[in-house]
Copies of this chain bind each other. A is one copy, B any other.
């Protein structure tokens, strides 16, 4: 039996655009917390970089945000035995006094257990939510486990807790806690809210089982600050027909402040930018390809909202890269029924690289969802392997050494294939998003 013929993917021209962007952003800028002076330097760096790469109409589009400025983060067990804890404040945490607070820890194995605690039962105490995340290739654990971080602090505050500490929303076993934003329910006064690393959460769990009261001292002095400057960086690679709406490819420029934002999301900006250029390497595409390096994604998607508001002009389709730098293993799309041939050609092209078609529907991502919703845009989601993403996400460990250059190149090659198809499509219909 003859082996089935394997179509050969088009040869990709070798270039270092993607690596130069991840290396440059992490080395020459480093952390780029939303609203910070470092994020402003990153915008200047990004603007200069896009111009140097030949993008046109490169603009910084400013907006302001409610920001979070980290202070001192410290935690330790004070009873039954002294033990140091590796802790980080969550974004928008309430602040402790400079000298910290101390309280008895109340142990909850899950968010559901915390929700079941009687009203007022946490008065003067520190709630601990010990809900260990499991890794998944498609990142699907971030929905339910991430809820501990997003909703847990509000639930603890509503039950009178002095403060709340969670097990990091992460899948590694290092003493590097995972930060991330929490949100406070309407009328809820923020309380200090932190996350400890997985090994520290394990320790707290073992101490809780000893049957003696566990007390914890917590210092989290960061502050929520209104009206901080942020902004998007936008640039175009003009197409042959400027009357056709552009294809938008997004990523985010800001990062959490504990690491240097290599996989979250310098790699996303590297991938979309390098692929946009490479899609034009064989000749100018029909449509303009626009890159959006969004600001302030981490604190709540401010950049994506600002872009949609500032850009009411029609777009053809949107895509985003914001899930690390590991290989694309799956593609999902959302096209109008009339554009099924377009969807099929994308699946066929990526199939030559071993990328499978998923059964779900594409959504976009935080930076492009507002414009997708406003304009009912077609979407393509390039599903990256997320098995190890939450080992690094929002930790001090999000650094350049975690990026495999070969995997980064696979992303650029896959994105290039898709951009060559969609940016040369004469018509792309709008599409109603799922209810």
Q: Which residues of A contact B (CB under 8 A)?
A: 23, 26-31, 38, 41, 80-84, 86, 173-176, 198-199, 202-203, 206-207, 210, 259-260, 395-397, 399-402
Contact = CB atoms under 8 A, between A and B. Distances in A.
Contact of A399 (B80, B203, B395): B203
Given A27-B206, A28-B80, A173-B399, 12 more contacts: A28-B210, A38-B82, A173-B402, A174-B176, A174-B397, A175-B395, A175-B397, A175-B399, A199-B400, A202-B399, A203-B260, A203-B400
A83 B401 contact: no
Nearest to A207: B27
Copies per complex of this chain: 2
Contacts of A81: 28-30, 41
A198 B401 contact: yes
Nearest to A257: B84
A336 to B, nearest CB: 45
Most buried by B among A41, A80, A86, A395: A86
Closest 8 pairs (CB-CB, A-B): A175-B396, A199-B399, A30-B83, A27-B206, A174-B174, A173-B401, A199-B401, A175-B397
Nearest to A27: B206
Given A202-B400, A399-B199, A175 B259 contact: yes
A396 B83 contact: no
Contacts of A397: 173-175, 199
B174 A206 contact: no
